[in-house]
Copies of this chain bind each other. A is one copy, B any other.
Amino acid sequence: MAERILVINPNSSLSCTDGIAAAIAPFAAPGLPRLDVTRIVDGPPAIVTWRDWYGIAEPLCRLVESEPADAYIIGCVSDPGLEAVRTVTDKPVFGTLRCAIAAAMMRGERFGIVAFTDKSKPRQRRALQAMGVEDRLAGTVPLNLDMEVLTDPVAPRARLAEAARQLVALGAEAVILGCAGMASHRAFAEDACGVPVIEPCQAAVTQALLAVVAARAGRLRMAAE
């Protein structure tokens, strides 16, 4: 009965998928759309290269074609395949990086990104360019840690805190966690750096809620008129 928002983790990491599920769980509530998370089982362990990024578009399209939902979220902070996925469904499709940028811009005029690796930056640049806000990026600081380290409850925190503080020193008035694998460290990072820290899957879920709940309300209103 209820609508469904489907977050698709384009990598195959279970710990990353679990982290996404844990990050968005607090946004589930009775009467609101159900929040489901899935992953591309035969995707790469992480989207690290341009080849990963391009190559995952087709599996994402196929999954969306076979999994009905009222809104889709591409759960990787480089928005792979976004434009392609939009062509295979008439439901809204959200990129987590774009949603995180939008949310960060609601809290400050310059923002920074704690990146998964050195190599993430050029892909994130594309999302910034697509939104026309490349010059609002105060900086990018990479962690360069493995996905398994990143999703550890403790291991990445010292480096994450340092990265977030560096971004604030560069002028960031909000900070984006540049990989879904950092989701469990949001509050820690915010305490560490003193400016709002945005977790991209949470940001995307709330954009999806906006679209799905507003659509439902509209249908009810139009039916009642």
Main secondary structure of the interface of A (DSSP, over half): helix
Q: A51-B57, A54-B83, A190-B218 are in contact. List 15 more A-B contacts (CB 8 A).
A: A29-B32, A50-B87, A51-B61, A54-B58, A92-B196, A94-B106, A95-B106, A98-B106, A102-B105, A109-B125, A109-B132, A126-B130, A132-B135, A184-B221, A196-B211
Given contact pairs A98-B105, A206-B206, A222-B187, A88 touches B131 in the complex (Cβ within 8 A): no
Task: Say how many copies of this protein the assembly contains.
Answer: 6
> Which residues on B sit within 8 Å (CB–CB) of A130?
109, 126, 129
Complex contact A219–B105 (CB within 8 A): no
Where the two chains meet, the residues of A that have a C-beta atom closer than 8 Å to any C-beta of B are 23, 26-27, 29-32, 49-51, 53-55, 57-58, 61, 81, 83-84, 86-88, 92, 94-95, 98-99, 102-103, 105-107, 109, 122, 125-126, 129-133, 135-136, 153, 184, 186-188, 190-191, 196, 199, 202-203, 206-207, 209-211, 213-219, 221-222, 225
Smallest Cβ distance from A4 to chain B, in angstroms?
15
**Counting chain B CB atoms within 10 Å of each CB, which of A55, A88, A216 scores highest?**
A55
- Which residues from chain B contact A109 at a C-beta distance below 8 Å? 122, 125, 130-132
